[in-house]
C-alpha cells in the first residue's frame, strides 16, 4: 500500500485529466470529445462516469495515468471506443463487443421497435399458450434478438450468424443478461439450419450487410479500419444480402408472417422493387428514423 501511495502524481486529478483529454481529442477531430474522455477514464479507473465528478479532485496513481494514456493513444488511432472498453449500450442494455462483430448502432433500435410493435399488434389472450417464433439472421453481438427477448419473454427466439466468433460473443451476451435459455443461438449461414415449410417462423428480421463494396474504404476510419468488412459489405450494389433474404424468407415464414430489414437510407426503392418482384409479400412499408432517413422495411408473407 505504501508503494502504491508513493506513486501518486499530485499534478493530475481526475478533473484535470478530463480537461486535458477533451482538449487533446478536439485537436484530433474526435467526435464527442468530452463524452469519450469520460468513458475511457471511467473504464481505466474502474468507476462509473458519475464517480468522475464525485471524485473530481482525486489525484491519480502513475499506473492509472499510464493505463488511461494507453487508451487515449488507441482512440487517436481511430479505434472505436466500444472496442477499446469492450462494451456498447443498446436498448438500455450493455453488450460485450469485439472486433469480430459490428458495433450496435442507435438507429438499429428502430428495427427492435418495429418488431415489438408487430408483436404487440399480433398478441392476443392466448399468446402465452401460442408463443411466436422469431428468427434473426446475422445476429453479430446478439443485441437485436436479446433486446427483443428481454421485452417479450413469452416468445421463442432463434438467431444465426455464420461467424463462430460472432456467435460466441452473442452467447456471452445472452449469459450476461440471463437470456441464455430464451434464445437459441446457431452458428450457421442465413437459413441453412432450417428446412423450408417445416420450420415456419412468425417473424424474421435482420440488419444485414448493405454497404456497396466500393464505398467501404471511404467510410469513417473507425468503421473502415476496425469493424468487420463481412458485416458491412453488401456486394457491388449493396443489395446482395437483402436480395437473398427477401428471396428466401417467405419459404420459412408462416402465412402473414413478417419480414423486417434494416436498410441503407437510399435503398428503399430498390428493396421495395425486390420485394414486389418476389411476388410473395404484401403490405410493404418503410419506417423512417428520427433523422428522417428510411431505415426499416417491413412486409408480410401473403
Give pLDDT tens digits for 59-113: 888 899 999 999 999 999 999 999 999 999 999 999 999 999 999 999 999 999 9
Query: Do 153 and 287 belong together in one domain?
Result: yes
Domains of the chain: total: 2
Mean pLDDT of 207-231: 96
Asked, for residue 213, whether it belongs to a domain, the answer is yes
Give pLDDT, residue 120.
82
**HSE, side-chain direction, 13 A CA sphere, residue 243:** 10
Mean pLDDT of 156-169: 96
Question: Do residues 79 and 97 make contact, with C-beta atoms less than 8 angstroms apart?
Answer: no
Which of 25, 53, 77 is where one domain is finished?
A: 77
Which of 77, 103, 128 is where one domain is finished?
A: 77
Query: Do 268 and 297 belong together in one domain?
Result: yes
Mean pLDDT of 185-195: 94
Query: Do 96 and 203 belong together in one domain?
Result: yes
Q: Over 90: is that where the pLDDT of 126 sits?
A: no
Query: Do 116 and 160 belong together in one domain?
Result: yes
Q: Over 60: is that where the pLDDT of 128 sits?
A: no
Asked, for residue 244, whether it belongs to a domain, the answer is yes
Give pLDDT, residue 8.
60
Instruction: Give the closest residue to 11 by CA, choosing from 67, 73, 60, 72.
Output: 60
Query: Do 153 and 266 belong together in one domain?
Result: yes
Query: Do 70 and 10 belong together in one domain?
Result: yes
Domain span including residue 161: 87-301
266 contact partners, CB below 8 Å, separation of at least 6: 294
Query: Do 32 and 178 belong together in one domain?
Result: no
Query: Do 23 and 147 belong together in one domain?
Result: no
Query: Do 66 and 195 belong together in one domain?
Result: no
Query: Do 146 and 52 belong together in one domain?
Result: no
Q: Over 80: is that where the pLDDT of 198 sits?
A: no
Instruction: Give the closest residue to 259 by CA, choosing from 237, 270, 273, 275.
Output: 275
- DSSP letter assigned to residue 72: H
Report the share of the chain in percent with pLDDT over 70: 94
Mean pLDDT of 52-65: 90
pTM of the complete model beyond 0.95:
no
- DSSP letter assigned to residue 105: P
Looking up residue 43, the CATH number of its domain turns out to be: 1.10.8
Give pLDDT, residue 9.
56
Give pLDDT tens digits for 237-294: 999 999 999 999 999 999 999 999 999 999 999 999 999 999 999 999 999 998 999 9
Question: Do residues 159 and 184 make contact, with C-beta atoms less than 8 angstroms apart?
Answer: yes
Which of 47, 77, 107 is where one domain is finished?
A: 77
Asked, for residue 82, whether it belongs to a domain, the answer is no
Give pLDDT, residue 10.
63
What are the CA-CA distances from residue 129 to residues 100, 118, 123, 132 (Å)? 38, 18, 11, 10
Query: Do 70 and 98 belong together in one domain?
Result: no
Q: How many angstroms separate the CA atoms of 190 and 169, rounded?
A: 17
Helix-helix angle 109-121:143-151, to 10 degrees? 40
- Looking at per-residue pLDDT, the higher value among 85 and 58 belongs to 85
Looking up residue 194, the CATH number of its domain turns out to be: 3.40.50.150
Report the share of the chain in percent with pLDDT over 90: 86
Band of pLDDT at residue 2, cut at 50, 70 and 90:
very low
Query: Do 25 and 148 belong together in one domain?
Result: no
Amino acid at each position: 500500500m505504501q508503494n502504491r501511495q508513493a506513486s501518486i502524481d499530485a499534478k493530475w486529478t481526475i478533473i484535470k485529466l478530463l480537461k486535458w483529454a477533451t482538449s487533446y481529442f478536439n485537436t484530433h477531430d474526435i467526435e464527442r470529445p468530452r463524452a469519450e474522455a469520460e468513458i475511457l477514464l471511467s473504464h481505466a479507473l474502474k468507476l462509473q462516469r458519475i464517480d468522475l465528478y464525485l471524485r473530481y479532485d482525486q489525484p491519480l496513481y502513475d499506473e492509472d495515468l499510464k493505463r488511461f494514456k494507453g487508451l487515449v493513444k488507441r482512440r487517436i488511432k481511430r479505434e472505436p471506443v466500444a472496442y477499446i472498453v469492450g462494451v456498447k449500450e443498446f436498448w438500455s442494455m450493455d453488450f460485450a463487443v469485439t472486433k469480430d462483430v459490428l458495433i450496435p448502432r442507435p438507429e438499429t433500435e428502430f428495427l427492435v421497435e418495429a418488431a415489438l410493435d408487430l408483436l404487440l399488434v399480433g398478441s392476443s389472450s392466448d399468446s402465452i399458450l401460442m408463443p411466436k417464433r422469431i428468427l434473426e439472421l446475422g445476429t453479430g453481438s446478439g443485441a437485436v434478438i436479446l433486446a427483443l427477448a428481454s421485452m417479450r419473454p413469452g416468445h421463442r427466439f432463434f438467431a444465426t450468424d455464420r461467424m463462430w466468433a460472432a456467435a460466441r460473443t452473442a452467447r456471452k451476451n445472452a449469459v450476461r443478461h440471463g437470456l441464455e435459455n430464451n434464445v437459441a443461438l446457431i452458428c450457421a449461414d442465413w437459413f441453412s439450419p432450417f428446412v423450408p415449410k417445416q420450420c415456419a417462423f412468425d417473424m424474421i428480421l435482420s440488419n444485414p450487410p448493405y454497404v456497396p463494396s466500393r464505398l467501404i474504404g471511404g467510410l469513417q476510419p473507425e468503421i473502415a479500419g476496425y469493424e468487420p468488412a463481412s458485416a458491412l459489405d453488401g456486394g457491388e450494389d449493396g443489395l446482395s444480402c437483402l436480395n437473398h433474404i427477401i428471396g428466401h424468407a417467405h419459404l420459412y415464414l408462416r402465412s402473414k408472417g413478417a419480414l423486417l430489414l434494416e436498410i441503407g437510407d437510399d435503398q428503399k426503392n430498390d428493396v421495395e422493387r425486390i420485394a414486389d418482384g418476389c411476388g410473395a409479400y404484401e403490405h410493404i412499408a418503410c419506417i423512417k428514423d428520427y433523422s428522417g432517413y428510411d431505415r426499416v422495411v417491413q412486409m408480410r408473407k401473403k
